[in-house]
Amino acid sequence: MARAYDVIEVERKWQRRWAEDGTYEVDADDPRPPWYVLSMYPYPSGPAHMGHVRNYTFGDLLVRHRTMLGYAVLSPFGFDSFGLPAENAAIKTGTHPRIFTDARIAELKESITSLGAVYDWRREIRSHDPEYIKWNQVIFQRLLAAGLAYRANAPVNWCPGCKTVLANEQVLPDGTCERSGDVVVKRDLEQWFFRITEYADELLAGLDDLEWPERVKTMQRNWIGRSEGAEYDLVVAGRDGTDGRERMALRVFTTRPDTSFGMTYAVVAPEHPMVDALTTPEHQNEVAELRKRAAASTDVERMSESGPLSLAKRGAFTGSSVINPFTNRPVPVYVADYVLMGYGTGAIMAVPAEDHRDWDFAQAYGLPVVRTVRPPEGWEEHGGPNGGPGGAYTGAGEKINSEWLNGLDITTATAKATEWLEAEGIGVRKINYRLRDWLISRQRFWGCPIPIVYCPDHGIVPVPVDQLPVLAPDDVQFLPTGESPLATNPQFLNTTCPLCGGPATRETDTMDTFVDSSWYFLRFTDPWTPDQPFDPDIARHWMPVDQYIGGIEHAILHLLYARFFNRALVDLGLAPAGMREPFAHYYAQGMIRMDGTKMSKSKGNLVAPSSYLSTVGADALRLFHLFVGPPADDMDWTDQTDSVIEGCGRFLDRVWRLAVPAGEAVPLLQEGPLTPKDLEVRRATHRLIDRVTRDFERWSYNTAVAACMEFVNLLHPYARADGQAQVLDEAVDTLLLLLAPMTPHLAAEAWEHRHGDHVHLHPWPVADPELAAEESVTMVVQVNGKVRDRIEVAPDISEAEAEALALGSAVVMEALGGRSPRRVIVRPPKLVNVVV
RNA sequence: GCCCGGGUGGCGGAAUGGCAGACGCGGUGGACUCAAAAUCCACUGUCCGAAAGGGCGUGCGGGUUCGAAUCCCGCCCCGGGCACCA
């Protein structure tokens, strides 16, 4: 497609200039008000893909727009450069991951630059940079000292594909690895954890004040999963205590202490430590069988076994009973795998009448049901599944069969039952969370080493801060054994104990790469400080991030970890006090799909931006991404997409011809009174400013672009025929200023032709309300809600005038056909509705 | 199963109680040209009609309102999240 200007040359020219002139390099002593915009730093996997283009187009628009509004805009960029792909490539090709990664970074950086996106590159961060590794390790030591990092033996998620353990957040709901798709298995291993649960309540409460998409906040709330209830002891019938207590007791957690009178049995998880003690000799085989099966089954198998039929296979009677303290009557104890060891106390009081799972189990095992909440009328006939009889009733209602709770509502009864438990010394009020501590150990090479030494005499010894960073050796072999080269490298493994100088071994695991991304936004504020991760006072100047942009796939993972880390760093005194939330606004842009699936390297359905950059150019591609639809929506890349991109290029050509006319342009009037057409163009100019400014504020870029297109459609005939020079100049200059954040190259080049200076250094235009005011508006006249006539009226027309005009309309009179209006609705100056 | 989104021309989408379909893509016709490309102009929801004009129309069914794509109730479909968390 032949273009009106040399797109490639012009774009290259401005990209070079922006890199040289330092317009977008800002420092904390800048007198302008600070504003921090950040796109999630990417894993460097080579040249930018379409998702990057989309993401960085929004980010760059904000940088340029906010700069024109007079802010000192902090816009850094970096690379989340640790991770498995580089290590896998090393195994395949023998190239060291650093060499591989640095090459991918160079490619990505180059393609980001060729989009015309501007950053303060002095602040660039690479996770694998020794300096960044050092501060990562220093922070680890500080967390360790504060008790927020610890080592523990726990059943953890092992991904056989990635050959490493994973955090809970990195396992998909179906039990597969979010990265490789392999089925994750449970293993008991000694691993490093960060105590994120310490902040569970705060992480939950903090969500309320964040201007984030509601669905993201909901996802985090679900993930944290707070539930309020009570924990209490069930004394085991006829058994003495083994741990010094007089009686053996089973502790249970419930959110419904009010239903305690309806407990007809109790359940312990198969992994519960008391199972052996509870199991009588005659039930041992049955219980052992169940425990074996539970231990062997993956989460996926557990899922596929749901349903009442399989429930029968998943429980076993222990032979013991516990005393319900509310009724003083014994109930049987079962082992069942629908109770999880990892939540609450790993044991429950079962109330089939008011819990669906307990109901199903009770049905399968013929256990009794005692209602403690009066179900609604007709419940026993068709309250159950598919309208069948009975079923658990979990709704509100009056307490029954509950002695001193009878007649109360659920809330009051819950409070009273909890008070009673505490008064009797049987139990306590308790809040439980679904959130678990963050497992950060990874059995991989290409990550930040955990700076720990194991000494036979001193145990776990942190590497002293003055010896950091602990770096992985370069001289290692990458073999497809699945084992990290660190684990078998004697020169790395063998060291001396920092305390006693005796022989010791190093920790060979590295940190989850989500650790790197949990504080990089803080490091960006001050990446030069030599003696701390960043200066808290400088961080305070820029933080929190005013606008964070990134994909919805990080709704839980990265965004939750970063919120935790930020708080921990504040509490450690590393980050500014009081600055607990790192991201004030977060915008989740939609993903690009092709043939119904996410466009990605692994799906093999990538469309390379480079082919567009070398043909239609960066501006047209950027404009396309802004124009195609709301940024939060997913977009489908189809056969027709190329035509739309070309249409964007066509629009830019039209702007160019308007702004930089070729020789034979029609000379316009230089002065004289303004005609109605002149006034219309001037009005449109000021209305456009208003429109685009408001659309930018609400992320409605598609309508902002549409408004500009409409404006250009108005200006072209005007410029050809009947224009007044000053009016046209104001119109075109305004248009270029408004386009400057969206299509920066075109705007810069055209502006330079017209004025010789830089469009991006000009302030954002402000609409003059007087010039924008309409001198007449079209008033719609309806009869019974149907449009019958349109009349041009003054914007400040009175109700009486509007009504008179409408009723006087020939069309209306005809429609009325002599009938007199029953009612006339007048909404000046837009509408009159005559009702007959 | 529960909780969020969403359903508008051939397509992407606009309109948040007041002219449905802005803007763009695609399509049709025309101007320019020896011709093509590029550019420019006109038309383009659907049905009836030669036209003027009119009927219908925002997933389906009801309701509120002078007036509903927009608000309310019920249903269908699509997308996402959660799902033995006691």
pLDDT tens, residue by residue, A187-210: 888 899 999 999 999 999 999 888
Question: What's the ipTM?
Answer: 0.95
Nearest to A435 by CA among A525, A542, A343: A343
Tell me the average pLDDT across A358-364: 87
Lowest mean pLDDT among A74-78, A106-110, A343-347, A620-624: A343-347
Q: pLDDT confidence of A310, banded at 50, 70, 90?
A: very low
Q: pLDDT confidence of A803, banded at 50, 70, 90?
A: confident
Question: Nearest nt (C1') to A788 (CA)?
Answer: B19
CA A455 – CA A308 distance, rounded (Å): 52
CA A751 – C1' B36 distance (Å)?
34
Q: pLDDT confidence of A823, banded at 50, 70, 90?
A: confident
Q: Do strands A265-268 and A149-159 pair parallel, antiparallel, or not at all (unpaired)?
A: unpaired
Question: Nearest nt (C1') to A342 (CA)?
Answer: B85
On strand B, nucleotides with any atom < 7 Å from a protein CB are: 3-5, 10-15, 18-20, 22-26, 37-41, 54-55, 66-68, 79-86
User: Is A296 in contact with A279 (CB distance < 8 Å)?
Assistant: no
Question: Nearest nt (C1') to A716 (CA)?
Answer: B40
CA A813 – CA A823 distance, rounded (Å): 15
CA A290 – CA A339 distance, rounded (Å): 13
How many helices and strands in chain A, by DSSP H and E? 29, 30
Tell me the average pLDDT across A525-540: 95
Q: What is the pLDDT of residue A676?
A: 86
Lowest mean pLDDT among A124-138, A238-252, A528-542: A238-252
Phi, psi of A732 (to 5 degrees): -70, -40
Question: Nearest nt (C1') to A357 (CA)?
Answer: B84
3-state SS string over A792-829?
A: EECCCCCHHHHHHHHHHCHHHHHHHCCCCCCEEEEECC
Nearest to A582 by CA among A40, A32, A30: A40
Tell me the average pLDDT across A86-110: 93
CA A787 – C1' B55 distance (Å)?
14
Range 202-261, chain A: CB under 7 Å to any strand B atom: 214-215, 218-219, 222-223, 225, 227, 229, 253-256
Mean pLDDT over all residues of chain A? 89
Q: pLDDT confidence of A245, banded at 50, 70, 90?
A: low
User: Is A665 in contact with A718 (CB distance < 8 Å)?
Assistant: no
CA A535 – CA A529 distance, rounded (Å): 7
Tell me the average pLDDT across A577-601: 85
Instruction: Give yes or no for CB of A778 within 7 Å of strand B.
Output: yes
Nearest to A370 by CA among A351, A390, A398: A351
CA A753 – C1' B29 distance (Å)?
39
Phi, psi of A431 (to 5 degrees): -115, 130
Q: What is the pLDDT of residue A387?
A: 60
CA A676 – C1' B70 distance (Å)?
36
Q: How far is CA A768 from the centre of its chain?
A: 39
CA A87 – CA A100 distance, rounded (Å): 9
Q: Do strands A315-324 and A427-432 pair parallel, antiparallel, or not at all (unpaired)?
A: unpaired
Digit-coded pLDDT (tens) for A655-705: 999 998 775 555 666 677 888 889 999 999 999 999 999 999 999 999 999
Q: How far is CA A188 from the centre of its chain?
A: 31
pLDDT at A301 over 70: no
Q: What is the pLDDT of residue A311?
A: 45
Instruction: Give yes or no for CB of A122 within 7 Å of strand B.
Output: no
What does DSSP assign to residue A198?
Answer: G
pLDDT at A251 over 60: yes
By C-alpha to C1' distance, B39 is nearest to: A654
User: Is A170 in contact with A182 (CB distance < 8 Å)?
Assistant: no
Nearest to A543 by CA among A520, A572, A560, A515: A520
pLDDT at A757 over 80: yes
Alpha-helical (H) ranges within A484-586 are 490-493, 513-516, 520-523, 536-542, 557-571
Q: pLDDT confidence of A514, banded at 50, 70, 90?
A: very high
Q: Quick count: other Cβ atoms within 10 Å of Cβ A423?
A: 8
Q: Which of A228-237, A600-609, A798-807 has the highest mean predicted lDDT (pLDDT)?
A: A228-237
Digit-coded pLDDT (tens) for A535-565: 999 999 999 999 999 988 888 889 999 999 9
Looking up tokens 């033996």, which residue turns up? A153
CA A364 – CA A308 distance, rounded (Å): 7
Q: Quick count: other Cβ atoms within 10 Å of Cβ A798?
A: 12
CA A787 – C1' B20 distance (Å)?
13
Nearest to A122 by CA among A84, A176, A76: A76
Instruction: Give yes or no for CB of A160 within 7 Å of strand B.
Output: no
Q: What is the pLDDT of residue A480?
A: 78
pTM attached to this predicted model:
0.92
Looking up tokens 């190239």, which residue turns up? A95
3-state SS string over A721-755?
A: CCCEHHHHHHHHHHHHHHHCCCCHHHHHHHHHHHH
Range 423-482, chain A: CB under 7 Å to any strand B atom: 432, 434
Digit-coded pLDDT (tens) for A398-432: 999 999 999 999 989 999 999 999 999 999 999 99
Q: What six digits make up the tokens of A746?
A: 């075109």
Q: How far is CA A94 from CA A416, A628, A726, in A?
A: 68, 43, 66
Tell me the average pLDDT across A3-19: 93
Question: Nearest nt (C1') to A434 (CA)?
Answer: B85
pLDDT at A508 over 60: yes
Digit-coded pLDDT (tens) for A766-799: 999 999 888 788 888 888 888 888 888 888 888 8
Lowest mean pLDDT among A11-25, A94-108, A549-563: A549-563
- Tell me whether the omega of the peptide bond preceding residue A667 falls within 30 degrees of 0, making it cis: no
Range 580-639, chain A: CB under 7 Å to any strand B atom: 627-630, 633-636, 638
- How much of chain A, in percent, has pLDDT values that exceed 90? 60
CA A537 – C1' B44 distance (Å)?
62
CA A648 – CA A7 distance, rounded (Å): 13
CA A367 – CA A168 distance, rounded (Å): 35
Question: Nearest nt (C1') to A255 (CA)?
Answer: B86
Lowest mean pLDDT among A34-48, A222-236, A374-388, A436-450: A374-388
Instruction: Give yes or no for CB of A269 within 7 Å of strand B.
Output: yes
3-state SS string over A629-664?
A: CCCCCCEECCCCHHHHHHHHHHHHHHHHHHHCCCCC
Looking up tokens 């998409």, which residue turns up? A213
Question: Nearest nt (C1') to A790 (CA)?
Answer: B19
Digit-coded pLDDT (tens) for A160-171: 887 888 877 777
